[in-house]
Amino acid sequence: MILNLYRKLSEIAENYIVVTSSQIVYFTSGTPHKLRIFIADGSLLDIWISVSGKYSYHWERRHLHKGIYRFDNAPHQRWKNTKTFPKHFHSESELNVRESFLSDKPEEAIKEVLDFIVSIISAET
């Protein structure tokens, strides 16, 4: 189930101009762990989705000195006052958190995240 979802998300991602490639990362047991998407600026987007509906879309840019961006729905008590709790968004750092209105449908959420990435990269050039 998760493997098919990661394959579908990979197909969607590879239609975006900022995406250079993608790969499914597996545990040593052979179970799919996450989908890794490589971005043209040298950054990467890791997507983890559980069968229970938990998710994380983590855009890693620290090696470019541009921080991290992550949409997730882990119910961390630290963010319980966020209006969209447990959904929240880490903007440029782990501690800068705000509301997240990311779709609960992975096929829509990946488009929203990639559109966000395109907008940030476009603003930088």
- Quote the domain boundaries for residue 73: 2-124
Residue 80, both tokens: 């319980």
For the chain, the first-to-last Cα distance in angstroms comes to 39
- Decide if 6 contacts 32 (C-beta within 8 A): yes
Per-residue pLDDT of the chain (125 residues; tens, 9 = 90+): 899 999 999 999 999 999 999 999 999 999 999 999 999 999 999 999 999 999 999 999 988 878 899 999 999 899 999 999 999 999 999 999 999 999 999 999 999 999 999 999 999 87
Specify the length of the chain in residues. Answer: 125
* pTM of the model as a whole: 0.94
The total number of structural domains that make up the chain = 1
Give the count of beta carbons closer than 10 Å to the beta carbon of residue 22: 20
Residue 30, both tokens: 């052979």
